[in-house]
Chain A
């Protein structure tokens, strides 16, 4: 892939579960330091696409390129190491660990992850651990969760869990951040907080974001480009103003199966 501005590219990705084609011949590009949106009705394959990109599933057909190298078939932990981090639609936190430990877990290159260092090198990893804890607290502060640092996630509300899920992803210092409906089921005040945090990260750190979102007003306000999926296929793409005004977008929500034929 020669395009310097492209950070992620998929070529004809396909994945099926039994007879169902969850992702069907999807080729798309995500550009560096932009916010890309992904919309589509339930079951249209958005989350499956994220699962393919992060190595949770292996594609049956197609290839994935990230930051100039092919990542097709790599396991999730190696894809994380290259800089792709995702959040989950339904928060997958560690419920018997403190909120702060949930964050620090995501930090990169932890010296104490090694069992030998854990036993013999406490002094080697401790300083780094302090640094990560401080950064974790800063992130919690920014998300308004600082007072919960020592609590367990089960004490948080649903919206706060979403924020924590986002905070954990930020802690991992991604180059490409995949967010799976970070604002679903979240109060409007928290929604703007989530999206402001994401925009700030893009502006300050040049982060690239690929985001699944249902609220079209939010998509219009924050994204630079939108992809629409329908029944596993890439259905529409373009700048948000154009895509959201496209009559075909409404037709997939209203007409369902009939919409595909029209495309």
Chain B
């Protein structure tokens, strides 16, 4: 394989774990209307938990499971104060939570390596002794399998009477509660589940890159996930994947393109320009995103 092939394979894997993160945001924001600006924190919690377990020799399955549990509990914890407030305050609370987690990870070096982070995290599926190409293919399959599992869970959740409650909370909370739904409990479930999914993405990420540090989980990561969700279609299951592929293609594509075309601007700046233009176009001409929200398929008809 050429370097370009490896670069593309790495892009596929990157799109894969971002697709999981965008899917989790779609369940929170797209279906339930809950604004979560703390995605990076739940991603980080999963990544760090999994990394700590992996370097201490615990098996991969356990690392993923505990990472999801810790992130899920984090989501539940933040949901307790957050879901009783209006959506704009929810955005602020989650944002502050994410920054707090990052700053704690950065400053408490006894906990998880501080600014240096954690190095030498072993891959969960290690095919490097065959060849690095095969190893990357294995990682790509791993992340796409993870995404598929979460997409199926997400589809079942949102295409059910429970999914109807999510949309009802998004549309009119008062009507939802007057018609017998416990909005607070439902929101706590949504936050926990979506955060657990983000934790699984984090777990995958840390074993794939082999390294975590606080600087990898900055606000920009959260915003990237938001861009993917909005581009692909927030109230959809596959929109997150579409958005992740699109966003990653622009980011990586500009870097490949610069080797073939004489771009007038630096590739990195080109990425920002293209992403911004695309975002404006989508929000203006297709506010639902590339994919549209479908009807609820609860199996009743």
Q: Mark A residues whose CB is within 8 Å of B.
A: 54, 56, 75-77, 80-81, 85-86, 88, 92-98, 100-101, 104-106, 108, 110-115, 117-119, 122, 125-126, 129-130, 132-133, 150, 168, 172
Contact = CB atoms under 8 A, between A and B. Distances in A.
B179 A80 contact: yes
A126 B300 CA distance: 6
Given A80-B178, A118-B156, A172-B180, A97 B167 contact: yes
A132 B161 CA distance: 11
A101 B178 CA distance: 16
Contact of A112 (B174, B179, B298): B298
Give the 5 A-B CB pairs with smallest separation, nearest first.
A112-B161, A129-B300, A118-B160, A80-B180, A118-B162
A172 B176 CA distance: 12
Contact of A56 (B163, B170, B174, B298): B174
Nearest to B167: A97
Interface string B169-182: 01110110111111
A95 B293 CA distance: 13
Contacts of A97: 164, 167-168, 171, 296
Nearest to A110: B161
Interface string B290-301: 000101101111
B171 A96 contact: yes
A114 B181 CA distance: 11
Contacts of B160: 112, 117-119, 122, 125
B164 A92 contact: no
A190 to B, nearest CB: 21
Interface size class of B (residues with CB under 8 A): 20 to 34
Contacts of B193: 115
Interface string B11-50: 0000000000000000000000000000000000000000
Contacts of A125: 160-161, 298-299
Given A113-B162, A118-B156, A105 B300 contact: no
Contacts, number: 114
B153 interface: yes
Contacts of A93: 171-172, 175
A114 B183 CA distance: 12
A154 B3 CA distance: 53
A115 B153 CA distance: 10
Contacts of A126: 298-300
Given A77-B182, A94-B168, A117-B162, 10 more contacts: A75-B177, A75-B182, A77-B181, A105-B161, A105-B165, A112-B161, A118-B156, A125-B161, A129-B298, A132-B300
Q: Which of A77, A95, A111, A125 has the most CB of B within 10 A?
A: A77
B157 interface: yes
B180 A81 contact: yes
B189 interface: yes
A133 B178 contact: no
Nearest to B295: A98
A185 B182 CA distance: 32
B295 to A, nearest CB: 6
Contact of A118 (B157, B170, B182, B301): B157
A150 B301 CA distance: 11
B155 to A, nearest CB: 10
